[in-house]
Amino acid sequence: MTAAFALSDVTLGYGRHPAVHHLTGSFATGSLTAVVGPNGSGKTTLLKGLAGLLAPLDGRLDRNGLGRRDIAYLPQQAEIDRSFPISVIETVLLGHWRTIGLFRPVTRILRRQAEHALMAVGLDGFARRPIASLSAGQFQRVLFARMLLQDCPVILLDEPFTAIDAKTMADLLRVVVGWHGEGRTVIAVLHDLDQVRENFPDSLLIAREPIAWGATTEVLRAEHLFRARQMAEAWDDRAEICRRSVA
């Protein structure tokens, strides 16, 4: 099976300060993978590296032919500014940027596709509402509708179900499972381990360094989770990059 991403002893961080250390492995094309670990364990940093927003400090990260337009990246809601005066439908239409660019006009067909995407996420009738008026769950539905229009083979989700209601979570989880059924590669940072066990066949457990990577049933074993907690508690934020010699 081909790999959407292949990592070889990758270290990621900011200002030469590491946040993820020595990660080696691959995300298979068409896989559905949860990235889990304690708070501050480097999960968001890893997604930014996969999205091409952060270059490795060390090691090699191969995207195997994937360009930036092939990857749909959804950051945490806290990173998104909702104060900009834009409507729901205008936000969703930004998903067409991959195919039409920023300056080509939006046709009636493209607008109809955006309306259908809103219907698919349960927001029929919300098109004209400003995004600033939406609840956290409604806004997350809008972002998922935009990703439906992006139609990318790879989807990266950073805590997509945080601070939203149970109904919205269930609806959006169905969208995620649907993407996987279409053969897309989906990688999501998640905290609810029961949700991971029920819906994500593969998992990566990290605590700045990789703890376990593979089938979820094997990764989320008690001893692995205990080791992740221990490593997170022992981590020194002042640590320099450590490089491993290659034989």
Of the candidate ranges 25-39, 107-121, 230-244, the one whose mean pLDDT is the lowest: 230-244
- pLDDT computed for residue 44 by the predictor: 95
- pLDDT computed for residue 103 by the predictor: 64
* Close Cβ partners of 198 (under 8 Å, ≥ 6 residues apart): none
Q: What is the pLDDT of residues 173-214, one digit of tens each?
A: 999 999 999 999 999 999 999 999 999 999 999 999 999 999
Q: What is the pLDDT of residues 76-88, one digit of tens each?
A: 987 788 888 899 9
246 vs 234, more confident: 234
- pLDDT above 60: residue 229: yes
- pLDDT computed for residue 247 by the predictor: 36
Residue 166 CB-half CA count within 13 A:
0
- pLDDT computed for residue 245 by the predictor: 41
% of the chain exceeding 70 in pLDDT: 91
Residue 16 CB-half CA count within 13 A:
1
Task: State the Cα–Cα distance between residues 44 and 139, nearest whole angstrom.
Answer: 20
Q: What are the structural domains of the chain?
A: 1-66+153-247 (3.40.50.300), 76-152 (no CATH)
Look-up of token digits 């298979």: 28
Give per-residue burial for 25-35: e unless 16+ CB within 10 Å, then b.
ebbebbbbbbb
- pLDDT computed for residue 202 by the predictor: 98
Of the candidate ranges 130-144, 210-224, 227-241, the one whose mean pLDDT is the lowest: 227-241
CA pseudo-torsion sign 110, 111, 112, 115? positive
Q: What is the pLDDT of residues 13-41, one digit of tens each?
A: 988 788 998 999 999 999 999 999 999 89
CA 107 to chain centre: 30
Task: Judge whether 48 and 79 are in contact, CB under 8 Å.
Answer: no
- pLDDT above 70: residue 234: no
Which band of pLDDT confidence, cut at 50, 70 and 90, is reported for residue 107? confident
Q: Is 151 exposed, middle or buried (0-12, 13-18, 19+ CB in 10 A)?
A: middle
- pLDDT above 80: residue 138: yes
- pLDDT above 60: residue 239: no
CA 178 to chain centre: 15
Which has the closest alpha carbon to 132: 169, 95, 80, 76?
A: 80
